[in-house]
């Protein structure tokens, strides 16, 4: 019996598209202090008093446009990834979501049920890039539950893999067939985060967004810098695909609230691009390894409408890696590299 167990962790979805389930999900998600990093009283007022009451009905409608009969695409695709990874390893593999279900306690308990002599759990946060609102909260929450339950097995985490050759290769090969078609520009659209979060995760306190061209100047801050990491992903994938610098650009999507977020914003760029002569656009979302609301609704549906309405002629959304063979092999490799 393998002494190791594996937990694949993603963000999570509401249990259904009802406004009630949306309220529950958004409250849990946005009350996370690593997502809305305001003092508790202000966060409570903002989230419970303003954001959730207004957002829940709108989000419910958005989820309805992409929901599958098996459930949320993000959850279904993560379960499919689990099965594919499981078929390539002897260790038991479970799924945990940071918000909603299946929750971390269920995942740990399932592993223990399968193997009461469990010695080690390898956590795979399904985020290529470090952000306090994604990778960090996933790992810290799993550690919190682990400590509360007083588990005796060891807990190890796969680090952000934004520049790992296997991830870059899997992503590039997932994109390559789409790029055989004629296109003017490829847009790498990453989930955005507030600029303040980039500065908060800078351990030097003086590099990120403070030094000119900070993402390209060697610094220990890059270990936890979201902007550096996504930029390196774009650079490495473009290089692997032989794309010249004038053939691609980068932007940030899914902005929430009024604080300054990383720029440029995808929703702003899409209607501008046709006016700049970009009539045929390819768009890919490498911060997501599985398709979800933010790719299927925001980019593949809404983004396409905005772009075509503004004079764009052809818009191709490149799906996430989901269960592509190279990606499944990459996950197995990442797990085995955690010594
Ligand atoms: C890829 C990593 C992600 C980061 C970084 C991230 C930051 C972040 N997100 C919000 C607010 C929302 N995000 C929502 C959905 C959502 N976000 C991610 C990933 C990251 N978020 C995923 C995979 C999803 C999709 C979930 C699904 O069920 O498919 C939502 C909910 C939907 C909506 O109402 O739009 C919100 C809200 C903030 C504020 C933030 C950084 C501070
Ligand atoms: Fe998000
Ligand atoms: Fe940085």
pLDDT tens-digit profile of 240-296?
A: 999 999 999 999 999 998 899 999 999 999 999 999 999 999 999 999 999 999 999
Residue 108 has pLDDT above 90, yes or no: yes
pLDDT at 2: 67
Helices marked H in the chain = 19-30, 40-44, 52-66, 73-86, 104-114, 137-149, 165-175, 195-200, 226-240, 266-272, 293-296, 304-309, 325-337
Indicate which atom in ligand 1 lies nearest the CA of residue 59.
34
Mean pLDDT of the chain: 97
User: Which whole number is the average pLDDT over 199-215?
Assistant: 95
Query: What's the complex ipTM?
Result: 0.98
Residue 294 Cβ < 6 Å to ligand 1: yes
Question: Hey, how many other C-beta atoms are within 10 angstroms of the C-beta on 55?
Answer: 17
CA nearest 14: which of 2, 28, 3?
A: 28
Phi, psi of 116 (to 5 degrees): -65, -20
From ligand 3's centre to the CA of 226, what distance in Å?
7
Q: What percent of the chain has pLDDT over 90?
A: 99
Q: Which part of the chain is CATH 3.40.50.1400?
A: 4-161+325-337, 165-318
CATH code linked to domain 165-318: 3.40.50.1400
Residue 55 has pLDDT above 90, yes or no: yes
**Residue 191 pLDDT grade (very low, low, confident, very high; cuts 50, 70, 90):** very high
C-alpha 225/C-alpha 215 separation (Å) is: 8
Given CA atoms 287, 293, 298, 300 in this order, what sign does their dihedral have?
Answer: positive
Residue 287 Cβ < 6 Å to ligand 1: yes
Indicate which atom in ligand 1 lies nearest the CA of residue 287.
1
Residue 294 known to bind ligand: yes
CA nearest 287: which of 279, 269, 299, 272?
A: 299
Which residues are within 8 A (CB) of 273 and not within 5 positions of it... i.e. 6 or more apart?
185, 187, 281, 307, 310, 312
Residue 273 Cβ < 6 Å to ligand 1: no
* Domain covering 4-161+325-337: architecture: 3-Layer(aba) Sandwich (3.40)
- Closest ligand to residue 287's CA: 1
Residue 132 has pLDDT above 90, yes or no: yes
pLDDT tens-digit profile of 19-48?
A: 999 999 999 999 999 999 999 999 999 999
Q: Is the pTM of this model over 0.95?
A: yes
Q: What percent of the chain has pLDDT over 70?
A: 99
pLDDT at 1: 58
From ligand 3's centre to the CA of 17, what distance in Å?
37
Residue 339 has pLDDT above 90, yes or no: no
Residue 99 Cβ < 6 Å to ligand 1: no
Residue 164 known to bind ligand: no
């Amino acid at each position: 019996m393998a002494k190791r167990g594996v937990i694949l962790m993603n963000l999570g979805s509401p249990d259904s598209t009802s406004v009630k389930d949306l309220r529950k999900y958004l409250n849990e998600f946005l009350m996370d202090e690593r997502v809305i990093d305001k003092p508790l009283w202000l966060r409570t007022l903002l989230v419970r008093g303003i954001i959730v009451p207004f957002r829940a009905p709108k989000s419910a409608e958005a989820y309805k446009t992409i929901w599958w009969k098996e459930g949320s695409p993000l959850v279904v695709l993560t379960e499919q990834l689990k099965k594919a990874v499981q078929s390539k390893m002897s260790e038991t593999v479970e799924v945990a979501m940071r918000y909603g279900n299946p929750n971390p306690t269920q995942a740990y308990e399932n592993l223990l049920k399968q193997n009461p002599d469990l010695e080690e759990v390898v956590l795979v946060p399904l985020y290529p890039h470090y952000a306090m609102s994604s990778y960090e909260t996933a790992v810290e929450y799993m550690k919190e539950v682990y400590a509360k339950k007083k588990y005796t097995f060891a807990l190890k985490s796969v680090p952000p893999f934004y520049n790992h050759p296997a991830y870059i290769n899997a992503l590039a090969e997932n994109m390559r067939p789409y790029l055989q078609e004629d296109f003017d520009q490829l847009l790498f659209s990453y989930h955005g985060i507030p600029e303040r979060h980039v500065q908060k995760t800078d351990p030097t306190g003086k590099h990120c967004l403070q030094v000119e061209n900070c993402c390209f100047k060697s610094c220990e801050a890059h270990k936890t810098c979201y902007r550096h990491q996504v930029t390196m992903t774009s650079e490495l994938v473009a290089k692997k695909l032989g794309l010249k610098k004038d053939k691609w650009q980068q932007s940030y999507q899914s902005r929430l609230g009024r604080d300054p977020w990383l720029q440029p914003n995808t929703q702003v760029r899409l209607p501008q691009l046709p006016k700049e002569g970009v009539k045929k656009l390819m768009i890919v979302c490498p911060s997501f390894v599985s398709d979800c609301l933010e790719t299927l609704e925001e980019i593949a549906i809404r983004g396409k409408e905005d772009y075509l309405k503004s004079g764009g002629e052809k818009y191709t959304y490149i799906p996430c890696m989901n269960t592509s063979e190279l990606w499944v092999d990459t996950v197995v490799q990442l797990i085995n590299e955690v010594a």
